[in-house]
Every structure is written in C-alpha cells, then in structure tokens.
A and B are shown apart, each in its own frame.
Chain A
Amino acid sequence: MSFDKNNTIYTQKVLAGDHWSHVIKAGQTIRIIDLEGNQAADTMFYSLADTDERYSAQDTINYQNNVYLTTGSKLISSLGNVLLTITDDTCGRHDTVGGACSAESNSVRYELNKIHMHNCRDSFMAALREHDIELGKRDLNSNINFFMNVPISPDGKSTFLDGISEAGKYVQLKAEVDVLCIISNCPQLNNPCNAYNPTPIELNIWD
C-alpha cells in the first residue's frame, strides 16, 4: 500500500536531539521525513525474534557492493539475513559508515572539553532502555545515518559535508521481519551533518 495520511497506523514527530524506539512488524512500512532539511537520523535495527541478530553496516555494504544506501538497498543483519528493504527515497543517498557521535568521540574529534554535550550514543542507549530487553552499549554497532552525507572518495579519504537532503525529503523502508527500530535524531552541534542546527523529523508507519 502506498503512503496516505489516512492509512497510517502511527505518526510521530521526533524533536531535535530526541530519541525514539518502536517495533515495525514484518510487512509494515516506515517513512522517515526530514521536515526542515539537513538533519541526520541515526538509526539501528534489531530482529525482534532474536535481538542478538541486528543490522550490520559491513554485511549490507558487501551484499550490495556499494557504500551508500538508497532505493533498492537491502539492510542485512549480522547473520547475513535481510531485515528491511529501502522502497523509496527522495534524498538519493544515505550513509552507513560514519557511525554515531558519542561523548567520548566528541572529545577526540573536536576538543577534549566537548565531552559534555548531548550525543547520539546516549540517545541510543536511552532508546534501548525503553524496552524490556537487556540491550546496551555493547549492542550498538555501526548504524545508518539517514540524510547524512559522508562521501568516500576513490583516493581513500572520507569527509563530512553539508547534507544533500532538503525540507520534506524522505526515505521509506519495508520490514521483511519484525524489527525493533531505534532512532537518535542527531543533536551534534560541532559539524555540518545537521547544518549546525538540529531539527525535527517525522515518522509514519502503515501496513
């Protein structure tokens, strides 16, 4: 079924810097909308049947032989199974190499005293704690950064650039199995991944 405000079974606006978690059942579709543009939505998926099995950036990159995610990309688990498929994407390219910011990585990347700033890993851990499952930092592996622009150049360099996303751009994923989805609506203030101005995203789920 295609997107229609009338048939969504769930709609949620996630404010700048907030975290979110929700189960997406097999066959359901989630649309993530970059409401104001240039926002990074850090996202992880866990198989609900066995949360030991989770999204793997490396296996996903191998499977499609490409480092960027877009329409048609299959999101592969740590055990080599398909968790979700990207079925629509008006942004065009999403990152899965850049990972999530943390207090500790901020201290390395910016300044030692930038450790006391709101960050994605703290949000991810808060999102995992919302479930009656003992998941924590050891369960956080390389995630997806929807709408984030991390070009990998042939000469082996990688950089963070201004987003290629704009207000209203969206990405849409169909769950192939029941998954727990967690999102950190990235609060990073030190680099251009959010255009230095974190903004809200909107989530819609339908059958």
Chain B
Amino acid sequence: METIKEDLIIFEEIIPGGWNFSHHLKKGTCLRLTDVEGGVNASTLLYNSQNLSERYNMADTLKAQFTSCLTTGHALYSDMGRVLLSIIDDTCGKHDTMTACSNPKTNLAKYGMKNYQEFRNDYYRDGLTSLITEVSKYGMTVRDLHSHINFFTRINVDNEGNLSFAKNEKPGTYIDLQAEMDTLVVLNTCPHPMDTNSNYAPKPLKVTIWKADCKLEENPCYQLCDQNKRGYMNSINYYK
C-alpha cells in the first residue's frame, strides 16, 4: 500500500454507495479511487475540461494498447488521440470498460422498486440516471454519455466471448489516475448491473486528490508501447 504524503493531499471525500460525483481534475494532480469496504463499482466518464466535446474513448484506449481491460500502465485516451489520465498504480489488477452501468430498466428487473416517497434517501438509484444528472451540471445531456469505465468491476471473457462478473472483495484496494490533461471526471457508485448480489447494496468510494509527481520517463504508461509515446506527445503538444 503506497501511502500518500499528508502534505500533498489537496482534498479527500467519501462518496456514499449509490451516489454521484464530479470534479475538474487539474493537469499535474492525481486522483486515487479507494474501494473502502470492497465491492464498489465506480462507473466513470471523462472529458477534456476545456473542451467537453473531447471525451474518453473506450475503443481507442483498448486498441492502442492491445488490451480488453485496464490496470497499471494503461493510458486512458480521448477521442482526439490524446492521453487524459495515466493509471500509474492499481492494487485491483483489472477494471472493466466494455460493459454498461445500470439503468432504470435493469434496476427494476433486478431489485424491484424503492421510491423516495416511502424510503427517503434509501430509494434505489441507477447508474444511467446518476450520470445524466451529473453531466447536466456542466451543460451536457444524455447525448454526451459515452462508453465508460467501471472501476473495481472485473469482467472475465471466455473463448466464445461470454462474460462473467467478479468484483473486488478486498477493502482498501485503490487505483491512481494521474491527469495528463485538465479532465472533468464524472462518476457514480451504483451497483454494476451484472453484480451477482441480487440485493441492492451499493458501496462507498473514497476519492483523494493530491499533487502528482510521476515524471514522464517514470510513467509506466509512457513506457508501455510506442503507441503511448505518441499519445503522450499529442497531449504535450496540446498545451504548447
């Protein structure tokens, strides 16, 4: 467990299970997502803070790095050939970006209904509605949702392409995302629709933001492949 030095921490917050969060992560800072209790799912969208039409691209991220899941050493690409965030550390080992978060239909089919009127803030919330709510705060709409990342959700694929779900069970598991560009991070902590738990049991997520110090030459993502060296060049050139 790599502890972050206290004096480098800019802020820290716990997002309760089933809620949403967003933050403009500045270039040169790092975001640690911690699965506090084990079993969290953090469905996450990424946008260039200065130009929201530039956003995370699942396909470009996977293609450039010949992978189908995400962990340390993988860069998260925008649809403009630039690296938004670097995964510089990860104790989970595998995060999904090929499946969708929950929506009102999947929630209803799986959990039934708990409404606000009867259950107040224990009502059931879903990932799609949470993401629409959160992006709306930045002038965006459902049009601006795109293929997202499900941090801490592990999806296994067999030889025929069939999927199976596995979540992180270990409390304290974390992933470190260093911003290579100013990046609007939008996420929610609703359970993944393929979660094998048939009860609605969302888990909390800790977000910690601190001053990043991982230099380009030491960045495991930059070192991974020639594709990433070009991706980082594109990000660097964007700010020239």
Contacts and interface: CB of A to CB of B under 8 A. Distances in A.
A80 B106 contact: yes
A65 B104 contact: no
Contacts of A109: 63-64, 227
Given A98-B59, A141-B146, A56 B230 contact: no
Contact of B68 (A121, A152, A160): A152
A45 interface: no
B204 interface: no
For A56, A65, A136, A156, which residue has the most chain B Cβ atoms within 10 angstroms? A156
A159 interface: yes
Contacts of B163: 61, 65-67
A99 B63 contact: yes
Interface in B80-107: 80-82, 94, 98-100, 103-106
A134 B231 CA distance: 30
Interface stretch (B8-16, B137-145, B175-183): B137-145
Nearest to A135: B143
Interface size bracket, B side: 35 or more
A67 B98 contact: yes
Contact of A108 (B103, B159, B160, B234): B234
Interface residues of A, number: 47
Contacts of B99: 58, 61-62
Contacts of A166: none
A114 to B, nearest CB: 10
A100 B59 contact: yes
Given A137-B79, A158-B68, A159-B66, A99 B58 contact: yes
Interface string B218-234: 00000000011011011
A97 B67 contact: no
A108 to B, nearest CB: 5
A138 B63 contact: no
A68 interface: yes
A61 to B, nearest CB: 6
Contacts of B46: none
A139 B234 contact: no
B212 interface: no
A99 B68 CA distance: 13
Given A58-B99, A139-B143, A67 B81 contact: no
* 4 nearest A-B residue pairs (beta carbon): A99-B59, A104-B81, A58-B100, A59-B100
23 contacts: A57-B147, A58-B58, A58-B98, A58-B99, A68-B161, A80-B105, A97-B62, A104-B80, A104-B234, A105-B57, A105-B79, A108-B228, A108-B231, A109-B63, A136-B53, A141-B147, A142-B58, A153-B68, A154-B158, A154-B159, A156-B67, A156-B68, A158-B66
Interface of A: 52-53, 56-59, 61-62, 65-68, 78-80, 93, 97-100, 102-109, 111-112, 115, 121, 136-142, 152-154, 156-160
